[in-house]
């Protein structure tokens, strides 16, 4: 019996060849492949502009800077998210204000955002948690009249849809991740997309030390034109090595999403009759890529979440605790927050089952059998 991991990236000889070609070209830093990856990603996500970054975390930082979030501002974020969502506002001197989430989607709602607004609210970071599309229109109905910027954290969302379009297309600015735990990977990597041309241009400068002439442009001329540093920037660049891999991965995205949705459907059907067990599902307004297929261990299950995890581990199945709650981490100890009952319940009762492209029917069957036998105990 072999270990079933919670996630495994799908990489093949095409990625190897693409990386080798970049190495042979002699130009491995940010250059033509990054530009090509940005263009291809923008097309796939129906975004006007795409700016590659070193991670989703750095893309979120850039997003808040170009959105004009400043020290003293409040930014509404779900606590029920990877810690980077809450950290981004702190990078610009703003305060993350934790809002609760909906129990079925794990996402912010118009109601939970409204409850977290203060006179200082400047932005909301709406997450497509685990790939489940957030109901952005409902949140914008609250934020637009107040002039509050909506940033979408679509780290997990590549391949998910909202009202017939890719997620992220309806936000002021969206950040994406290419960490191996997400649908497509460049090792580490991220992207910022936005409909605002001036925001994209500023993000492009800021990721490269706010340099007036890009390194690629300097390389292209024998006598490099003099550059200026227009403001205090960062080094948040992606490399051409990463982008070459990303271009191949982007081509695989439709197949990856289709296979993940198939696996999720098999789990859903096979576990539907287990009392006390609830599985994440598509909301009415869109489709999930099932980046995280989570199940909630309810009271009727006969074992709690940690018992279920331990039982799966005995069968050499590496499931994971569900999404974390940032407000419970030492990094945010002592920070005041609203009551977050749904966040706390979900973070205590959910776990993520293995889903990866290469997963076999036999492996799916093993996971299902282990969950069912834990429930019977």
**Annotated active-site positions, please?**
182
286 lies in the site for ligand PLP, by CB under 6 A: no
Place of tokens 């241009």: 201
Please, which residue, 82 or 199, has the CB nearer to ligand PLP?
A: 82
Least spacing, CB of residue 182 vs ligand PLP, in Å: 6
CB neighbours (10 Å) of residue 100?
24
Total binding residues for ligand PLP by CB under 6 A? 14
Segments of the chain assigned E as strands: 49-53, 74-78, 95-99, 121-127, 149-153, 161-162, 165-166, 173-177, 190-194, 277-279, 286-287, 293-297, 320-321, 350-353
Which of 15, 22, 49, 57 touches ligand PLP (CB under 6 A)? 57
Compute the least distance from the CB of residue 355 to ligand PLP, in Å.
15
Alpha-carbon distance of 193 to 187, in angstroms, equals 20
- Ramachandran category for residue 163: left, alpha or beta (phi over 0 → left; psi -120 to 50 → alpha): left
Helix, strand or coil for residue 181?
coil
User: Which of 22, 33, 38, 55 is close enough to bind ligand PLP by CB under 6 A?
Assistant: 55
Q: How far is the CB of 152 from ligand PLP (least distance, A)?
A: 10
List 15, 102, 153, 208, residue binding ligand PLP (CB under 6 A): 153
* Selected binder of ligand PLP within 156, 308, 317, 326 (CB under 6 A): 156
Locate 325 and state its tokens: 């709650």
Identify which range of 12-20, 54-62, 211-219, 232-240 contacts ligand PLP by CB under 6 A.
Answer: 54-62
Is residue 81 within the footprint of ligand PLP (CB under 6 A)?
yes
- Candidate list 37, 41, 80, 82; residue touching ligand PLP; CB under 6 A: 82
**Chain centre to alpha carbon of residue 207:** 19
- How far is it, in rounded angstroms, from Cα 154 to Cα 50? 13
Binding stretches for ligand PLP (CB under 6 A): 55-57, 81-82, 84-85, 127, 153, 155-156, 177, 179, 190
């Amino acid at each position: 019996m072999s270990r079933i991991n919670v996630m495994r990236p799908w990489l093949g000889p095409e990625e190897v060849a693409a990386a080798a070609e970049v190495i042979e070209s002699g130009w491995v830093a940010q250059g033509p492949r990054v530009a090509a990856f940005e263009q291809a990603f923008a097309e796939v996500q129906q975004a006007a502009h795409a700016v590659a970054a070193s991670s989703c975390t750095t893309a979120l930082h850039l997003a808040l800077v170009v959105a004009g979030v400043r020290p003293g501002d409040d930014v509404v974020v779900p606590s029920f998210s990877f810690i980077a969502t809450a950290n981004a506002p702190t990078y610009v001197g703003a305060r993350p204000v934790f809002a609760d989430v909906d129990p079925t989607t794990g996402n912010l709602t118009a109601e939970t955002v409204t409850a977290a607004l203060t006179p200082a609210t400047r932005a909301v970071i709406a997450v497509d948690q685990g790939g489940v599309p957030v109901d952005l229109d409902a949140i914008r109905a609250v934020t637009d009249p107040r002039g509050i910027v909506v940033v979408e954290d679509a780290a997990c969302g590549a391949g998910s849809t909202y009202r017939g379009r890719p997620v992220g297309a309806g936000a002021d600015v969206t950040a994406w991740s290419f960490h191996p735990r997400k649908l497509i990977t460049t090792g580490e990597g991220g992207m910022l997309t936005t409909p605002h041309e001036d925001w994209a241009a500023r993000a492009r400068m800021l990721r490269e030390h706010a340099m007036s002439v890009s390194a690629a442009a300097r390389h292209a001329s024998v006598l490099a034109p003099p550059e200026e540093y227009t403001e205090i920037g960062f080094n948040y660049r992606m490399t051409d090595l990463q982008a070459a891999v990303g271009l191949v991965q982007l081509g695989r995205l439709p197949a990856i999403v289709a296979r993940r949705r198939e696996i999720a459907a098999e789990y859903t059907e096979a576990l539907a009759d287990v009392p006390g067990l609830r599985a994440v599902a598509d909301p009415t307004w869109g489709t999930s890529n099932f980046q995280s297929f989570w199940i909630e261990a309810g009271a009727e299950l006969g074992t709690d979440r940690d018992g279920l995890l331990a039982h799966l581990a005995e069968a050499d199945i590496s499931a994971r605790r569900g999404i974390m709650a940032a407000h419970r981490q030492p990094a945010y100890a002592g920070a005041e927050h609203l009551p977050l009952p749904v966040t706390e319940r979900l973070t205590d009762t959910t776990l993520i089952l293995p889903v990866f492209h290469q997963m076999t029917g036999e492996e799916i069957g093993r996971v299902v059998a282990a969950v069912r036998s834990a429930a019977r105990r």
